[in-house]
Amino acid sequence: MSAGIGTAEDVAAEAARRRTFAVISHPDAGKSTLTEALALHAQAIEQAGAVHGKAGRRGVRSDWMDMERSRGISITSSVLRFEFGDTLLNLLDTPGHADFSEDTYRVLAAVDGAIMLLDSAKGLEAQTLKLFDVCRHRGIPVITFVNKWDRPGREPLELLDEVEQRIGLHPAPLNWPVGIAGDFRGLIDRADGSYTRFRRTPGGATRAAAERVPADRAAAEEGQAWVTANEELALLEEIGAVLDMEAFAAGSCTPVLFGAALPNFGVSALLDTVRRLAPAPSARTDAAGHARPVTAPFSGQVFKVQAGMDRAHRDRLAFIRVCSGRFERGATLTHAPTGRPLATKYAQTVFGRDRSTLDAAYPGDVIGLPNASGLTVGDTLYTKTPVTFPPIPAFAPEHFMVARVKDNSRAKQFRRGIDQLDSEGVVQVLRSDLRGDQAPVLAAVGPLQFDVFTARMADEFGAPVELSRLDYTTARITDKESAETLDGRRGVEVLTRTLDGSYIAVFVDKWRVRAIEREHPDLTLTPMLAAGVPD
């Protein structure tokens, strides 16, 4: 059997039981902790720490870079695939830091739903707002989880009001906390009125003990906290804060749950909500504007390329979201940009940085193809019926550096590392006629991308680099004719993108762009996608 083979009924049934979603948040909201807690409650891992390698434990890690572990931030996205009951979950962990918005945007091109994580004390923060804008733009339904309720924070009604006022989402709480933030007693399920009380386990390493408590006993034991919670629930009923599934699917309503990921409070309820409410894979629109149903022959899109995930696997892994049909390992796919055949003998599934052989996959799944030469972010693969999905755009860079190898005897390793990290999208690599191939220009959304680039060049490729800053802040897409006009003008330089040869004009500031546009209104100067903001 080959990719794309299998009855339409089989493919539709397999797609229906899949949920492919991302967790988005501002840095330090607890995203990686929640990712791990979800895997723990689905029994995909036995102890917290197995995914992120905390507390000295070894195991699968989604935060696998030394820099991620030392700085306590997620720098690159990762994939966790696990089953929960009869549902197969593909959880895509994303970087929270704004400097890595581009990687998060690529992940959001591959999911059907998202969990928006809010810090109970901070509420909606700048990066969360940007990522939600991307979800709205892409039509991705959002489930909201208010985290860290075991720590001092804001009033729950105040947080709901902020969600509605600032991003226009109608919040519909599915459960409600008993006890203010910092004095978390338990959760009331709004559907049946049941009350669950939680008890911590040592270090939060295992699932929290949960106890169902009858209402009369809860009233006696929780006192005023119980009274206040029920008064707030009555208010929610009065104002009509209930879930509208049509509005949720349309992106105008969000189910809201409360909890605390670190001690594993309320995580089971969130996991069950994802299973019940998050959308299954559906038809995806191709570049021509046609919907390709999930039962069509196999098609998929590359949303990430990554090397160096594990020292035992010195290879380059392309991550492909299955969009339609059945994939079977060993099938020959067609690479849409070139029309060339692509073998899939070594197809893999990924859990953090651990890998295992993948024999079959269906819409919503993520396939890892090692050493798939020529695959870059945004590429489409298919069998039988040709298709091309819309490209995943690169963000407009705002920071520019010139890279040079410190030791000229490492020039070959330098070139290999530059090409590899460019194809992964760690930075955008631009060529300058003024400097030549030995001094490429690196373009990034945020300066932390340069730190990642420098660390990986030294660690993975043995080619330490030195970087020197360029005083450009604004980039525009241009063409050859416009490039000739811009050549030599003050405050502007024309570079070419090494991946595709396209022309990029960089300017000292936006005012210089406007001045040149006034002088030469016929020039092609197309704005690029702003970081975290849909076009």
Pairing relationship of beta strands 441-444 and 399-405 according to DSSP bridges: antiparallel
Cα four-point dihedral sign 246, 250, 255, 261: positive
Does residue 314 register a pLDDT over 70? Answer: no
Residue 310 has pLDDT above 60, yes or no: no
SS3 472: coil
Measured distance CA(511)–CA(57) in Å, rounded: 52
Average pLDDT over residues 328-348: 94
pLDDT in tens, 425-457: 889 999 988 888 899 999 998 898 999 999 999
Contacts for 72 with CB less than 8 Å, ≥ 6 apart: none
What ranges in 364-447 are assigned the alpha helix state H? 411-424
| The pTM of the whole model exceeds 0.85 | no
Task: Tell me the range of 361-365, 396-400, 422-426 where mean pLDDT is highest.
Answer: 361-365
| Position 36 pLDDT exceeds 90 | no
Reported as a pLDDT band with limits 50, 70 and 90, residue 52 is very low
DSSP-derived secondary structure for 512-533: HHHHHHHH-TTS--EEPBPTT-
How many CB atoms neighbour CB 136 within 10 A?
16
Q: Is the pLDDT of residue 224 over 90?
A: yes
Establish whether 295 is an annotated binding residue: no
CB half-sphere exposure, 136, CA atoms < 13 A? 16
> Is residue 28 pLDDT above 90, yes or no?
no
- Asked whether the beta carbons of 280 and 337 are under 8 A apart, the reply is no
Confidence of residue 535 (pLDDT cuts 50, 70, 90): very low
Task: Report the SS3 class of residue 340.
Answer: strand
Would you state the pLDDT for residue 70? 53
Percentage of the chain exceeding pLDDT 70: 88
Q: Does position 3 have pLDDT exceeding 60, yes or no?
A: no
Residue 96, annotated ligand binder? yes
Choose between 397 and 323: higher pLDDT: 323
pLDDT band at 31 (very low <50, low <70, confident <90, very high): confident
Give Dmax over CA atoms of the chain in angstroms: 80
In the predicted model, what is the mean pLDDT of the chain? 88
Q: Domains for the chain: give ranges and CATH numbers.
A: 23-77+113-277 (3.40.50.300), 284-382 (2.40.30.10), 399-527 (3.30.70.3280)
Could you read off the pLDDT of 156-203 as tens digits, one per residue?
999 999 999 999 999 999 999 999 999 999 999 999 999 999 988 776
Q: Which residues contact 151 (CB under 8 A, 6 or more apart)?
A: 120, 121, 181, 182, 260
Tell me whether residue 97 is annotated as binding: yes
- Residue whose tokens read 């755009």: 393
Confidence of residue 131 (pLDDT cuts 50, 70, 90): confident
